[in-house]
C-alpha cells in the first residue's frame, strides 16, 4: 500500500495550524443576533406564570420564545438513526422544568449584553415540586413522576414506563444463570458505581442559523450528526426537510457530546422568528451543566467460576441514570452488555438494565457509551476472581477471552432498540495485546505482582490490568455514502457525509480513496458534511467512520476506477482487464498508457463527453470489535490516599491503522480521557440538584504533570470486512483506566475501589476499610 498505513499529514492540518480554518464561531453575518437561553433554577417545577413582555419591549431584542409561542412536538435530542431508540420526552419549551438548567425561554438580541438584559427581564413564577436527586430514589414507591405529560412516547416498541420514572429497560438471558451459579465453585458479586462526567471538548456547543435568500433555513453547527440535525430540526419546527440545509465546518472535538440536537432547534426558531441570523454560543459553565453527560450507572455484577477459572454464569444488572430526559437512555444501557459480555464467552448470561429519570443533568452519548461503565465492573470482578482463585489476572483473561472464529449469543440478543445481529469474530489480536502489554509493564506471573521500589515506606506500588472490546459501527442500522467526481487535472472531489470533528476522518477517507484510485491523497479535495452537497451518512458515532464510511469510499473509488480504466482502454486500445494505475497513469501490458489528465480532458471535452463520477453506499452486517489490553503501575501513599500513576500501557488491536499517527493520537487521547475520569473528574451537586463543579476550577481534568509515561502498542491484525483491514480505534481505550487503576490500587494496598473518581479521600477510606480488623 502506498497511501494507506502511512502517517500522512491531515488534509486540514496546515490550515488549522495557521489559524485559517473556520469553526462555527468564525462565521459572522451582517445583522447577526446573539441568542441566549433562560434556564430553570429549580430541579423540578411547574411554570405557573411567565411574562416576557418586558423583554420583548427592550430595544435591540428581536425575538423571545417560550412554551407559549413554539410548536409542542415531543422529540428526542439524541442524534440517532430513525426511528430513534430514545423516548420522545423532550419539547423545545415546556410548562414543566425537570432539572437545574432546563430550558425556560430564549431571546435573540443585537448584542450579548442586550440578550442577557432581556433574559433578566423575563418574569417566571414557579411551583416547585419535590425532586429526585438520586437514581435509586426514582424507582421507590411514591417517588415524584418526572414525565407525567401525556404526549411523551417511545417511537419503537420497547419498554417505556414514565409513570414509574423508567425511560427504558431491557432483560435478556442466554442459557440458565441459576444452573450456571450452581456449577460454580466461586461466586463473586459486587456493585460498582460509574459516576457522572462530561466531554470537555475544546469548543463548547455553538450554532449559527439563518434564513437564506430562497426562504430556506441554513444551520452552521458544531455537530457530529448533520443529517440527524436536519431531520430533528424539521420535526421540532414542523418544517419540510427540503427547507433546511445543515453545514458542519471545522469542529473542536465532540466525544459524543455533539451527537445531540442541543442548540439547533432553538437557534433555528429564533432565526425564523426574527428573520435574521442568530448565533448561540454555550459558555463553559453551560457546557458543564446544560449539555450532556456520561450516564451515571450502578452496575451490579455477579459471576460464577470453577476452581480452574472457567466462567459458569454471569449476571449483569445495570441501573442507569439518564437525568431529566431519556437521550440515549436505552442504547447506552444496552451497550453495557453488548460491548463487554461477549469478551468472555459463557454458557449462562443474563443482562438486565433499567434506565431511570432523575432531576439531574441529562445523560447522552459519551465515548465508550456504556462500555466504559460496564467494563469497570466486569474487569474489576475478573480481577477479584483471579485473586480469590489464586490465578494470575493475566492468565484468567487468557483462559476466557474470545478468539478469532468465536462468537457470543449476546451479539444476537442485544442490539440497539431491537435484537442484535449474529456475528462471528473475524480478526482478534487480543492474545498478542495481552502478552505485549504485560511485557511492556513488566508483569510478573503468579497472581498479583506487588512491586517494591516505592519512594517512602508508607507508599506501596502495584500493577493492574484489564482487557477490553468495543464495536465498529451499528450493524444493519448505520449507513454511510460517498461521492467522487473527476476534474480536468486528474484531481477528484470526494464528498462524504462522514463528519470530521478534528478526528482526521477527512484525511483517512482521502487516503483510502487515493489508494484505490492510484493517486496521491493531495489529489483528493475533501468536502464533508453539508446536507445540500454531500451524500447521506449517519454521522460520527458508534466508532463507525473508518469502518463504515471508509468502506463506502472504497466502493465509490472502485466504481470511479472502473470508469477511468474503461476510458483509458478506449483511448489507447488496451485491455481493461489487465490495466494497472500508477501515479495517475493507467498502464496496460505492452507499454500503452494514458494519464489521468488525458482521460479527464477526453471525457469532459473531446468525445462522448460525460462526468466520471460515482456515488456508493455502505451498510455493515457486523460490528467487528477492536480489542485492547491495558496495564498500569501505581504508587499509593497509604497515609494520604494519593495515587501516583507511574506507567500506563495500552496495547490495541484496531486492525489496519489507516493513518498510524492519527490512530495513535486517538488511543493516547482516549487513555488520558479515561485517566481523567478515573482519577479526578467529578460532578458534585448541592442539595437542590445544582451542579457545583461547572467549570475547570472545580471540575479538574489531568494536567501534563498528572500523566504517567503512556506507551501505546499497536497489535497488527487484518479485519476482512473492513477497509484495507481496518476496525475502529476511537472509543475503546477510554474504558481501561477505571478498572486497570482500580485493580492496581488493589494490588498495591488490598483496597478495592468500587466508585470513582479515585480521589485521595476515597482511596484512603477504602484502604482503612480494607485494613480494619474484622
Partner 1 sequence: MSNHKSQIFSPHFIYECLSLMEQFPKAKILAGGTDLLVRLKDEINQHDIIDISHLKELKGINIADDKIKIGALTTFSEIIENEIIAENAGVLVQAAEIVGSPQIRNRGTVGGNIANASPAGDSIPPLLILEAEIEISGKSGARTVPMRNFFKGPGKTILKKCEIISSVIIPKNKDYRGAFVRLGQRKSLAISKVSLAALFKMKDEKIEEARIALGAVAPTVIRASKTEKFLIGKKLNDETISEAKKIICDEVSPISDIRSIAEYRKEMCGELLEQAITRQLF
Residues in contact with partner 1 by the rule CB under 8 A: 113-114, 116-117, 283, 639-642, 680, 684, 692-693, 697-698, 700, 702-706, 759-761, 764
* Identity of the residue, 30 or 705, whose beta carbon is nearer to partner 1 in the bound complex: 705
Which H/E stretch holds residue 435? Answer: helix 430-441
According to the 3-state scheme, what is the secondary structure of 614-666? Answer: EEEEEECCCCCCCEEEEEEEEEEECCCCCEEEEEEEEEEECECCCCHHHHHHH
Which ranges constitute the DSSP H helices of 442-504? none
Q: How far is the CB of 749 from partner 1 (least distance, A)?
A: 16
Q: What are the backbone dihedrals phi and psi of residue 61, each rounded to the nearest 5 degrees, phi first?
A: -90, 130
Quickly count: other Cβ atoms within 10 Å of residue 609's Cβ: 9
* Identity of the residue, 225 or 764, whose beta carbon is nearer to partner 1 in the bound complex: 764
* Identity of the residue, 53 or 686, whose beta carbon is nearer to partner 1 in the bound complex: 686
C-alpha pair distances (Å), 527 with each of 449, 455, 479, 595: 51, 54, 18, 25
The two beta strands, 45-51 and 123-128, are antiparallel
How many Å apart are CA 747 and CA 738, to the nearest integer?
A: 14
Q: How far is the CB of 110 from partner 1 (least distance, A)?
A: 13
* Identity of the residue, 137 or 644, whose beta carbon is nearer to partner 1 in the bound complex: 644
| Beta-carbon contacts of residue 314 (< 8 Å; ≥ 6 apart) | 177, 180, 301, 302, 303, 304, 341, 344, 346, 348, 349, 350
Task: Give every strand in the sheet of 96-97, ordered side by side.
Answer: 96-97, 45-51, 123-128
* Identity of the residue, 106 or 469, whose beta carbon is nearer to partner 1 in the bound complex: 106
Distance from CA of residue 269 to its chain's centroid? Answer: 28
C-alpha pair distances (Å), 301 with each of 332, 334, 381, 489: 17, 15, 8, 61
Q: How far is the CB of 61 from partner 1 (least distance, A)?
A: 13
| In 195-243, beta strands by DSSP E | 206-211, 217-221
Question: By the 8 A CB rule, do 707 and 737 touch?
Answer: no
Q: How far is the CB of 706 from partner 1 (least distance, A)?
A: 5
Among all chains, which residue has been given the C-alpha cell 472535538? 253
Question: By the 8 A CB rule, do 259 and 224 touch?
Answer: yes
Task: Give every strand in the sheet of 479-486, ordered side by side.
Answer: 524-528, 492-496, 479-486, 613-619
Q: How far is the CB of 120 from partner 1 (least distance, A)?
A: 8
Question: By the 8 A CB rule, do 280 and 207 touch?
Answer: yes
How many Å apart are CA 348 and CA 173, to the nearest integer?
A: 7
Question: By the 8 A CB rule, do 636 and 460 touch?
Answer: yes
* Identity of the residue, 114 or 425, whose beta carbon is nearer to partner 1 in the bound complex: 114
Q: How far is the CB of 104 from partner 1 (least distance, A)?
A: 19
Question: By the 8 A CB rule, do 517 and 441 touch?
Answer: no
Question: By the 8 A CB rule, do 508 and 549 touch?
Answer: no
How many Å apart are CA 546 and CA 658, to the nearest integer?
A: 8
Q: How far is the CB of 37 from partner 1 (least distance, A)?
A: 16
Q: How far is the CB of 437 from partner 1 (least distance, A)?
A: 26
* Identity of the residue, 123 or 189, whose beta carbon is nearer to partner 1 in the bound complex: 123
* Identity of the residue, 116 or 187, whose beta carbon is nearer to partner 1 in the bound complex: 116
* Identity of the residue, 562 or 642, whose beta carbon is nearer to partner 1 in the bound complex: 642
* Identity of the residue, 7 or 686, whose beta carbon is nearer to partner 1 in the bound complex: 686
Q: How far is the CB of 316 from partner 1 (least distance, A)?
A: 32
* Identity of the residue, 288 or 588, whose beta carbon is nearer to partner 1 in the bound complex: 288
Question: By the 8 A CB rule, do 392 and 445 touch?
Answer: yes
* Identity of the residue, 1 or 684, whose beta carbon is nearer to partner 1 in the bound complex: 684
* Identity of the residue, 42 or 762, whose beta carbon is nearer to partner 1 in the bound complex: 762
How many Å apart are CA 492 and CA 329, to the nearest integer?
A: 41
Q: How far is the CB of 284 from partner 1 (least distance, A)?
A: 10
* Identity of the residue, 661 or 765, whose beta carbon is nearer to partner 1 in the bound complex: 765
C-alpha pair distances (Å), 322 with each of 128, 176, 588, 738: 21, 30, 61, 21
Q: How far is the CB of 280 from partner 1 (least distance, A)?
A: 17
Q: How far is the CB of 686 from partner 1 (least distance, A)?
A: 10
Which H/E stretch holds residue 594? Answer: strand 593-595
* Identity of the residue, 49 or 202, whose beta carbon is nearer to partner 1 in the bound complex: 202
Which H/E stretch holds residue 765? Answer: helix 760-771
Q: How far is the CB of 595 from partner 1 (least distance, A)?
A: 54
* Identity of the residue, 583 or 640, whose beta carbon is nearer to partner 1 in the bound complex: 640
Q: How far is the CB of 60 from partner 1 (least distance, A)?
A: 11
Q: How far is the CB of 692 from partner 1 (least distance, A)?
A: 5
**What is the SS3 assignment for 346?**
coil
Q: How far is the CB of 360 from partner 1 (least distance, A)?
A: 17
Among all chains, which residue has been given the C-alpha cell 453506499? 617
Amino acid at each position: 500500500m502506498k497511501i494507506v498505513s502511512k502517517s500522512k499529514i491531515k488534509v486540514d492540518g496546515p490550515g488549522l495550524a495557521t489559524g485559517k480554518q473556520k469553526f462555527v464561531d468564525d462565521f459572522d453575518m451582517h445583522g447577526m443576533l446573539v441568542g441566549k437561553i433562560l434556564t430553570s433554577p429549580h430541579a423540578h417545577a411547574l411554570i405557573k406564570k411567565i411574562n416576557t413582555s418586558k423583554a420583548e419591549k427592550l430595544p435591540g431584542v428581536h425575538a423571545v420564545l417560550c412554551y407559549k409561542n413554539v410548536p409542542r412536538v415531543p422529540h428526542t435530542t439524541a442524534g440517532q438513526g430513525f426511528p430513534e431508540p430514545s423516548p420522545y420526552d423532550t419539547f423545545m419549551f415546556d410548562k414543566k422544568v425537570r432539572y437545574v438548567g432546563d430550558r425556560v425561554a430564549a431571546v435573540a438580541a443585537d448584542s450579548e449584553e442586550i440578550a442577557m438584559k432581556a433574559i433578566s427581564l423575563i418574569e417566571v413564577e414557579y411551583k416547585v415540586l419535590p425532586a429526585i436527586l438520586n437514581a435509586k430514589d426514582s424507582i421507590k414507591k411514591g417517588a415524584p413522576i418526572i414525565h407525567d405529560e401525556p404526549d411523551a412516547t417511545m417511537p419503537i416498541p420497547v419498554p417505556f414506563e414514565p409513570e414509574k420514572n423508567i425511560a427504558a429497560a431491557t432483560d435478556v438471558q442466554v442459557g440458565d444463570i441459576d444452573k450456571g451459579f450452581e456449577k460454580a465453585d466461586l461466586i463473586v458479586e459486587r456493585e460498582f458505581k460509574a459516576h457522572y462526567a462530561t466531554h470537555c471538548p475544546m469548543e463548547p456547543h455553538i450554532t449559527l442559523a439563518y434564513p437564506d435568500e430562497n426562504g430556506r433555513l441554513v444551520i452552521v453547527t458544531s455537530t457530529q450528526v448533520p443529517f440527524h440535525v436536519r431531520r430533528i430540526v424539521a420535526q421540532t419546527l414542523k418544517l419540510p426537510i427540503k427547507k433546511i440545509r445543515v453545514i458542519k465546518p471545522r469542529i473542536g472535538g465532540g466525544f459524543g457530546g455533539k451527537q445531540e440536537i442541543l442548540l439547533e432547534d432553538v437557534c433555528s426558531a429564533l432565526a425564523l422568528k426574527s428573520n435574521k441570523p442568530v448565533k448561540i454560543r454555550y459558555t463553559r459553565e453551560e457546557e458543564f451543566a446544560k449539555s450532556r453527560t456520561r450516564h451515571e450507572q450502578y452496575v451490579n455484577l455477579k459471576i460464577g467460576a470453577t476452581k480452574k477459572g472457567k466462567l459458569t454464569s454471569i449476571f449483569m444488572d445495570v441501573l442507569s441514570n439518564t437525568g431529566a430526559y431519556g437521550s440515549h437512555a436505552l442504547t447506552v444501557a444496552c451497550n453495557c452488555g453488548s460491548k463487554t459480555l461477549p469478551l468472555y464467552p459463557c454458557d449462562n448470561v443474563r443482562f438486565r438494565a433499567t434506565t431511570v429519570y432523575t432531576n439531574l443533568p441529562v445523560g447522552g452519548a459519551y465515548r465508550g457509551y456504556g462500555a466504559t461503565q460496564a467494563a469497570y465492573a466486569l474487569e474489576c470482578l475478573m480481577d477479584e476472581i483471579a485473586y480469590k482463585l489464586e490465578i494470575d489476572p493475566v492468565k484468567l483473561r487468557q483462559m476466557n477471552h474470545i478468539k478469532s472464529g468465536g462468537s457470543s449469543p449476546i451479539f444476537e440478543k442485544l442490539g440497539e432498540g431491537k435484537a442484535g445481529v449474529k456475528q462471528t469474530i473475524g480478526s482478534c489480536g487480543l492474545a498478542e495485546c495481552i502478552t505485549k502489554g504485560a511485557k511492556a509493564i513488566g508483569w510478573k506471573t503468579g497472581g498479583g505482582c506487588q512491586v517494591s521500589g516505592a519512594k517512602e515506606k508508607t507508599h506501596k506500588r502495584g500493577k493492574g490490568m484489564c482487557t477490553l472490546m468495543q464495536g465498529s459501527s451499528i450493524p444493519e442500522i448505520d449507513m454511510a455514502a460517498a461521492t467522487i467526481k473527476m476534474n480536468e487535472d486528474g484531481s477528484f472531489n470526494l464528498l462524504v457525509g462522514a463528519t470530521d470533528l478534528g478526528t482526521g476522518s477527512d484525511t483517512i477517507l482521502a487516503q483510502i480513496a487515493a489508494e484505490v484510485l492510484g493517486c496521491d491523497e493531495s489529489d483528493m479535495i475533501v468536502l464533508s458534511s453539508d446536507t445540500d452537497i454531500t451524500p447521506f451518512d449517519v454521522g460520527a458515532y458508534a466508532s463507525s467512520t473508518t469502518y463504515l464510511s471508509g468502506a463506502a469510499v472504497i466502493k465509490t473509488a472502485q466504481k470511479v476506477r472502473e470508469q477511468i480504466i474503461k476510458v483509458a482502454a478506449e483511448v489507447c486500445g488496451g485491455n481493461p482487464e489487465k490495466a494497472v494505475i500508477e501515479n495517475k497513469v493507467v498502464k496496460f501490458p505492452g507499454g500503452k498508457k494514458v494519464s489521468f489528465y488525458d482521460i479527464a480532458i477526453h471525457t469532459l471535452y473531446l468525445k462522448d463527453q460525460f462526468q466520471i463520477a460515482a456515488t456508493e453506499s455502505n451498510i455493515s452486517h457486523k460490528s467487528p470489535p477492536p480489542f485492547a489490553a491495558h496495564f498500569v503501575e501505581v504508587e499509593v501513599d497509604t497515609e494520604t490516599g494519593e495515587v501516583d500513576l507511574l506507567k500506563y500501557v495500552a496495547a490495541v488491536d484496531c486492525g489496519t491503522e489507516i493513518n498510524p499517527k492519527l490512530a495513535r493520537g486517538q488511543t493516547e487521547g482516549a487513555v488520558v480521557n479515561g485517566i481523567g475520569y478515573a482519577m479526578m473528574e467529578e460532578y458534585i451537586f448541592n442539595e437542590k440538584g445544582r451542579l457545583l463543579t461547572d467549570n475547570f476550577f472545580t471540575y479538574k481534568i489531568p494536567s501534563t504533570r498528572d500523566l504517567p509515561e503512556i506507551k501505546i502498542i499497536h497489535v497488527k491484525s487484518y479485519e476482512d470486512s473492513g477497509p484495507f483491514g481496518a476496525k475502529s480505534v476511537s472509543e475503546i481505550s477510554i474504558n481501561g483506566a477505571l478498572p486497570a487503576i482500580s485493580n492496581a490500587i488493589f494490588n498495591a494496598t488490598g483496597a478495592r475501589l468500587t466508585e470513582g473518581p479515585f480521589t485521595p479521600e476515597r482511596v484512603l477510606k477504602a484502604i482503612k476499610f480494607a485494613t480494619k480488623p474484622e
